[in-house]
Amino acid sequence: MSAYDATVVFITSFLAIPLCYFSNYAFNAVQSKNELLVFVIGTVAILLVISITWSLLRKNNTGKTNPLFTVMSIFTLASVVDLISALELDGIIEGFMSFYLKHGEPYLRTAHGTIINYWDGIIHYGLYLSMLSAMAWNQGYHEVGLYWVGSITHSMIVLVLGALTGKYGIKWSFLLNVPYCIVPVWFGVKLLREPVPVLKESSEFTLKSIWKRPIDVLLILYFIFASGLAVMRGMGWSSVIYVWQELSNIYQMPVRKDRKVVSADE
């Protein structure tokens, strides 16, 4: 691989800007609310970027290309789309994603949806560029790759479960999230099967028992407590736990306020 390959993926990611603008303009012009049409347009846009990236990579590599670069072209494009969505949700820009956010994935118009778009558009995009650079210059990207796998998997678990249990229901555009559920699993397995480069070996290094590492024990206990608290808040938000629901009403938790605001906007 070469710097040319990474540059191609980087540049093609910015195709998201004209694609978002003209798609939004076309939908608003025809005033179509067909959810299937929104999904079809999104799928065509993805296939268009894949074909452009694949042809440019094949041209430079005489027919031999790394499929991972093509996969990265999809995810970098999606990161730019998510950043555009976040900026539009905050009112910084307009006319790019308003139609999709209303008829494609309306659950992204919440506070969590805005932050998850920022996270994908900034943090994940930076991770993609780091991995692309490492692949282009034949450097290791094991740690960065595993961090991305954990981050994107966590984001998708929350997003998918929220979409499935939320009041908006499942729309056709929800299927555009399928690559986010499949590719990280494949990529994570690929990374775990690859040998990890050892920078420095030490014969004196011994792994201590978990009970002899008090800081690690405290972190484990904290994460168990935080996970349980998050589950209870989620069940209280969905009115499953009555006591937690009453506490959230008394103390006016922002998560419940956000739910009312979204309902009012509709």
pLDDT at 248: 55
CA 161 – CA 163 distance, rounded (Å):
5
1-10, 116-125, 181-190, 245-254: the lowest-pLDDT one? 245-254
Domain stops at, among 171, 195, 219: 195
Structure tokens at 37: 């049409």
Residue 149, number of CB atoms within 10 A of its CB: 21
CA 36 – CA 41 distance, rounded (Å):
9
Q: How far apart are the first and last CA of the chain?
A: 49
Tally of structural domains, the chain: 2
Domain membership of residue 157 (yes or no) is: yes
Domain membership of residue 260 (yes or no) is: no
Domain stops at, among 195, 219, 243: 195
Residue 97 contacts residue 88 (beta carbons within 8 Å): yes
pLDDT at 263: 45
Question: Looking at the structure, do residues 90 and 189 belong to the same domain, yes or no?
Answer: yes
3-state secondary structure of 234: helix
State the alpha helices, DSSP H only, in 119-194.
Answer: 125-136, 142-165, 178-193
Domain membership of residue 53 (yes or no) is: yes
Residue 107 contacts residue 166 (beta carbons within 8 Å): yes
Question: Looking at the structure, do residues 219 and 106 belong to the same domain, yes or no?
Answer: no
Host domain of residue 221: 210-251
> Region 121-129: what's the mean pLDDT?
94
Question: Looking at the structure, do residues 85 and 161 belong to the same domain, yes or no?
Answer: yes
42-46, 197-201, 226-230: the lowest-pLDDT one? 197-201
Domain membership of residue 262 (yes or no) is: no
pLDDT at 87: 95
Residue 117 contacts residue 86 (beta carbons within 8 Å): yes
73-99 tens-digit pLDDT:
889 999 999 999 999 999 999 989 988
Higher pLDDT, 60 or 165: 165
CA 77 – CA 85 distance, rounded (Å):
12
Structure tokens at 3: 């710097």
Domain stops at, among 160, 195, 230: 195
The secondary element (H helix, E strand) that includes residue 71 is helix 67-89
What is the C-alpha R_g of the chain?
22
Query: What global pTM score does this model have?
Result: 0.78
Map tokens 């959230």 to a residue: 248
Question: Looking at the structure, do residues 154 and 185 belong to the same domain, yes or no?
Answer: yes
